[in-house]
Amino acid sequence: MNDKVILVVLDGLNLKVAQDCLGYLNGLVEYKKATQYSLYSELPSLSRPLYECILTGVAPIESGIVHNNVTRRSLFESVFSLAQAQGKTTAAAAYHWVSELYNRSPYDPVRDRHTHNESLQIQHGVFYHWDHYPDEALILDGEYLRQEFDPDFLLVHSMNIDDTGHKFGLDSPEYRNSARHADIILSNFLPTWIEEGYQILITSDHGMNNDKSHGGTLIEEREVPLYLIGDRFSHLDVAIKQTELCGLVCEVLGLTHQKAFNEDALA
Ligand SMILES: [Zn+2]
């Protein structure tokens, strides 16, 4: 057993598109190596508010991170802050807003793109600030951090699916193919992560609509997948809220925390 956690956030991935297009991940589900849940994004269904929600368990209305241009550090304990304070190693390959929320704001690419500083909440980071930064490069950044620094908690956060949705909309071959592409890239690395016993969560912040955007209450903007892999999860048919992901990760990491989580999701 391994209590290390890898959280993969595929930005802007709608639930139905995940179910239809992620052949490898859904293959894992068919072979009982993963369980797929669905969850509703908190509101507004926007990226930065929901990064904060996933990583702190605090909904946007409560966190104050209510739109994408709220450029400041989080005011709440996060998986990163709790893990770092309790002697764990933290790492992230993620969009630069994550660096702004938990490390330093505003983001300075010269200083922050490559981060190695044990005193920061995210101790090892490779951050990017291009929405079209290739998912393949991003996953390689995450794998580099994993192999080089052996983090207890690793966030891997890709942007191409969201970016493609903004260009072509939900019901487009381009959007669906970007999801298929992410699935293929993940299939290069997940077998090793599974073999090494990591506890793995794969989810999204929000979905996408046919207006090439998201932010509101449409089902296609709010419904996102959650795949759980690993022996610390119960794999039972339970309801999991987006605000409970942080607590779930904290529990698996063995952290002392006050975050909400669904106990039935754990083994
Ligand atoms: Zn977006």
Q: Are 10 and 207 in contact (CB under 8 A)?
A: no
**Residues whose CB is less than 8 angstroms from the CB of residue 108 and which lie 6 or more positions away in sequence, other chains included:** none
Q: What is the pLDDT of residues 114-132, one digit of tens each?
A: 999 999 999 999 999 999 9
Ligand 1 centre and the CA of 263: distance in Å? 31
pLDDT of residue 1: 54
Nearest to 209 by CA among 198, 220, 217, 199: 220
Q: Are 124 and 115 in contact (CB under 8 A)?
A: yes
Ligand 1 centre and the CA of 214: distance in Å? 6
Name the β-bridge partners of 246: none
Query: Identity (one letter) of the amino acid at 252?
Result: V
Ligand 1 centre and the CA of 206: distance in Å? 8
Ligand 1 centre and the CA of 212: distance in Å? 9
Q: Are 9 and 54 in contact (CB under 8 A)?
A: yes
Q: What is the pLDDT of residues 175-226, one digit of tens each?
A: 999 999 999 999 999 999 999 999 999 999 999 999 999 999 999 999 999 9
Is pLDDT at 2 greater than 80 in this prediction?
no
Is pLDDT at 6 greater than 90 in this prediction?
yes
Helices marked H in the chain: 15-21, 23-30, 47-56, 60-63, 79-85, 96-102, 109-112, 135-149, 160-168, 173-195, 219-222, 245-253
Handedness of CA 34, 12, 79, 147 (dihedral sign): positive
Ligand 1 centre and the CA of 258: distance in Å? 30
User: Residues with beta carbon < 5 A to ion ligand 1?
Assistant: 12, 162
Instruction: Give the other-Cβ count within 10 Å of 106's Cβ.
Output: 10
